[in-house]
Amino acid sequence: MLNEPTMEKLYEMRLSAMAEAWLAQQKDATIGALSFDDRIALLVEAEHMARDNRRLRRLLKDAELRIPSACMEDVKATPARGLEKAMVRQLGSCGWISRRRWARLRAARVCV
């Protein structure tokens, strides 16, 4: 089987993550023990994850966040800042979105 034409077609179809995962599979001797279904599932998962990551990077860039590298784990919930750990944890879970509480939060001007 000729691998080069297959690789070219994968790149042409914009499946570069799948192509790179396929190359990695060819170099891994233990991958031969997996069934065809398992191997193709790994390739599809690699492409899916790469697309999700690209989408997330694009959305974060488009959001033009003031502090783009900020994350909930880095928030210091101290009494001096007027933040309760339970409230920060609750906001971080984003459950308030599904309960449609954003208007109430905006009105209270809760800012982390």
**Which structural domain, as residue segments, surrounds residue 31?**
1-69
Examine the domain organization and report whether 102 and 55 are in the same domain.
no
pTM: 0.65
The pLDDT value given to residue 112: 45
Rounded CA gap, 86 and 77, in Å? 9
The pLDDT value given to residue 108: 58
Over the range 19-53, which residues count as b (16 or more CB within 10 Å of their CB) and which as e?
Answer: bbbbeebeeeeeeeeeeeeebeebbeebbeebeee
Examine the domain organization and report whether 101 and 64 are in the same domain.
no
Examine the domain organization and report whether 29 and 57 are in the same domain.
yes
Distant-in-sequence, close-in-space partners of 98: CB < 8 Å, separation ≥ 6 = none
Examine the domain organization and report whether 25 and 10 are in the same domain.
yes
Rounded CA gap, 98 and 95, in Å? 6
Give per-10-residue mean pLDDT for the chain (112 aa): 88 96 92 93 96 94 88 85 85 79 58 48
Domain tally, the chain? 2
